[in-house]
Structure 1
């Protein structure tokens, strides 16, 4: 099972996305969302991080601080709340870095 942490500015819109992704995953992944100020407290058991497009400028810092694979969520898919597409992208990204 893939454990995904979404990190965004405050964790509100990404919380909605996390719930939708969790439903799409059908048990193949867990997804939770937190604000950028709290992500370091939520890394236990996490396999990868998705960074909200609004804080994409912090991607490098998040990678370095977490020592986990991290990628920015596609802006168009994020805007559409395309949970299925983002989940598929996440799985492909994780398979590529494993």
Structure 2
């Protein structure tokens, strides 16, 4: 499963990415999880399954949906509470549920 987290500069999600990778490893799950600034997402679309948008940049949702949904990539806003508490396991579960929806 390939997951992209999008924020404004790609920095604020780095700790969450680390926690999500740890949660995936604990589950024995094969997952690639990376953070991207919105400006670099277009060049990183190959093989993505899910794009999760940081709650602080939810205003980008419409543009991101227009970019990725035609490619069959699922999109959602990261749960604000899980993002703020850096709960990688919960955000990973959000991505899994989204992919399977």
TM-score for both structures, normalised by structure 1: 0.90
State the match for 2:31 in structure 1: 29
Distance in 2 (CA, whole Å) between partners of 1:44 and 1:18 is: 19
User: Gapped runs of 5+ residues in structure 2?
Assistant: none
- Unaligned 5+ segments in structure 1 are none
State how many pairs are aligned: 95
Deviation, structure 1 residue 87: 0.6
User: CA RMSD for the aligned pairs?
Assistant: 1.1
SS of the equivalent of 2:13 reads helix
- Quote the residue 2:17 is aligned against: 18
CA contact (8 A) 2:51 2:74 kept: yes
Greater RCO between the two (CA within 8 Å, min separation 6)?
2
Deviation >3 Å, runs of 4+? none
TM-score for the superposition, normalised by structure 2: 0.88
| Cα separation, 2, equivalents of 1:64 and 1:3 | 19
